[in-house]
């Protein structure tokens, strides 16, 4: 069975360590697993019910919804901005939560991981993201966690895929999320 995981990165910065972590997930995906790194979150307008109308929703938001609907699971990569998740990630969750009760996240396994400069690796942001996707109807994989502290120093010279400890932890995250997705599908 092939498993598709949609990766959403909460940082728009070109050199983002969370983006690098997502890139590592793409490379480390086990055989039979495809991790799709969604491009274009910066182009999705802020959620507004006035523009989320049948036949009139923005193309970028529809593309996000289609990618999520076509996936078997979603993996969020969240930095921590002022103690919470970035607006771009919250906005993606808002778009994916609609239409209410039938959004692309309803019943979808979701895990949240990330890295941040602080000593806790962004756990507050990740906890907020888990809360938000749970309210949006996702099946939150609470047991799947990876918070990597000290991102600015840890990844200053090393890409996460080349950090043996991070690569091993990320591989475990992917395997665990695949197990949740295949159990749900069975």
pLDDT in tens, the chain (186 residues): 699 999 999 999 989 999 999 999 999 999 999 999 999 999 999 999 999 998 889 999 999 999 999 999 999 999 999 999 999 999 999 999 999 889 999 999 999 999 999 999 999 999 999 999 999 999 999 999 999 999 999 999 999 999 999 999 999 999 999 999 999 776
Does the domain made of 3-185 have the CATH classification 3.20.20.20? no
Selection from 82, 155, 91 nearest residue 125 by Cα: 82
pLDDT score for 161: 96
* Report field, pTM of the whole predicted structure over 0.75: yes
Domains in the chain: boundaries? 3-185
**Tokens, residue 171:** 């591989």
pLDDT at 9: 98
Residues 101 and 107: their CA atoms lie apart, in Å, by 10
How do beta strands 139-148 and 33-37 pair?
unpaired
Distances in Å between the Cα of 23 and the Cα atoms of 56, 75, 96, 167, 181 are 32, 12, 22, 11, 21
Helix axes 164-185, 17-28, angle to 10 degrees: 60
pLDDT at 4: 98
Query: Which pLDDT does position 186 carry in this prediction?
Result: 67
A 10 A CB-CB count for 60 gives 15
HEC-encoded secondary structure of 86-122: CHHHHHHHHHHCCCCCCCCCCCCEEEEEEECCCCCCC
**What pLDDT does 69 receive?**
97
């Amino acid at each position: 069975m092939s498993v598709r995981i949609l990766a959403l990165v909460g940082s728009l910065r070109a050199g983002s360590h969370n983006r690098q972590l997502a890139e590592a997930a793409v490379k480390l995906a086990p055989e039979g697993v495809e991790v799709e790194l969604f491009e274009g979150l910066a182009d999705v307008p802020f959620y507004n019910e006035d523009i989320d109308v049948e036949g009139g929703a923005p193309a970028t938001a529809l593309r996000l919804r289609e990618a999520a609907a076509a996936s078997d699971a979603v993996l969020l990569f969240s930095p921590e901005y002022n103690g919470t998740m970035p607006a771009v990630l919250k906005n993606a969750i808002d778009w994916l939560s609609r239409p209410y009760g039938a959004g692309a996240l309803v019943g979808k396994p979701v895990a949240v991981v990330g890295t941040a400069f602080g000593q806790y690796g962004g756990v507050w942001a990740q906890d907020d993201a888990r809360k938000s996707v749970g309210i949006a109807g996702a099946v939150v994989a609470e047991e799947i966690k990876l918070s990597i502290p000290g991102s600015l120093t840890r990844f200053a010279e090393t890409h996460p895929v080349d950090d043996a400890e991070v690569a091993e932890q990320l591989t475990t995250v992917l395997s665990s999320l695949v197990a949740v997705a295949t159990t749900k599908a069975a």
